[in-house]
Chain A
Amino acid sequence: GNSVTQMEGPVTLSEEAFLTINCTYTATGYPSLFWYVQYPGEGLQLLLKATKADDKGSNKGFEATYRKETTSFHLEKGSVQVSDSAVYFCALPYNNNDMRFGAGTRLTVKP
């Protein structure tokens, strides 16, 4: 079945550093791919998505490109801020009813 493997953390960066969080997927066909973010003490928020191969999702300065050649959907941001400190989850649909998530990557950005 569909699954994602996510880069393990934690990741600690200084403010304005470049961020990459790796995510690779295994899937039948080409399902939509997602990044969710979870801020401390909160639920999950959809950060960005891509619905087909070669699509680029973007939001709040974050980007991820759906690459079928490498089965990857890496999350990037050119200049992180302290407010980006959170846990980031890569995800994809398992079937019509179920979303499968990676284990999450905790990002801490220091001033």
Chain B
Amino acid sequence: DAGVTQSPTHLIKTRGQQVTLRCSPISGHKSVSWYQQVLGQGPQFIFQYYEKEERGRGNFPDRFSARQFPNYSSELNVNALLLGDSALYLCASSLPGQGRFGYTFGSGTRLTVV
């Protein structure tokens, strides 16, 4: 079975541009979460989506947005990119209400803003 898949794996963008990152959860997992991991730090929670609705949001500006599709895949959008947005963006999936028992993470998208 495929795990959590993310695309692209690497991305380079210029300040001020917009970026879209994609995630497909494990088959049967309906909950998708996004995390930002800045180099040398632990992952920070950005969003969680379930049944196409936002169920939780971390302390990130409105430049960050996301959505979930009927097949439970998800996109993370970041507008007006800043140098500080350079990070590894991780997607995680879980069964509904089971996040407290652990998430399965994808390999991430490494975003570099220049």
Determine if B25 is an interface residue (Cβ-Cβ < 8 Å): no
Which of A36, A43, A46, A100 lies at the interface centre, i.e. has the most chain B CB atoms within 10 A of its CB? A43
**Number of residue pairs A-B, CB distance < 8 angstroms:** 68
Determine if B61 is an interface residue (Cβ-Cβ < 8 Å): no
Interface size on A, residues (CB 8 A): 25
Give 17 A-B pairs besides A32-B100, A103-B40 with Cβ atoms closer than 8 angstroms.
Answer: A31-B100, A32-B102, A43-B108, A44-B92, A46-B102, A46-B103, A46-B104, A49-B101, A93-B99, A94-B45, A97-B48, A98-B58, A99-B33, A99-B45, A99-B92, A103-B41, A103-B42
List residues of B whose CB falls within 8 A of some A CB. 4, 6, 33, 35, 40-45, 48, 55-56, 58, 88, 90, 92, 97, 99-108
List residues of A whose CB falls within 8 A of some B CB. 31-32, 34, 36, 42-46, 49, 51, 89, 91, 93-104
13 inter-chain pairs at a CB distance below 8 angstroms, sorted by A residue, are A32-B101, A32-B102, A42-B107, A43-B107, A46-B103, A89-B43, A96-B55, A96-B56, A97-B45, A97-B48, A99-B45, A99-B92, A101-B44
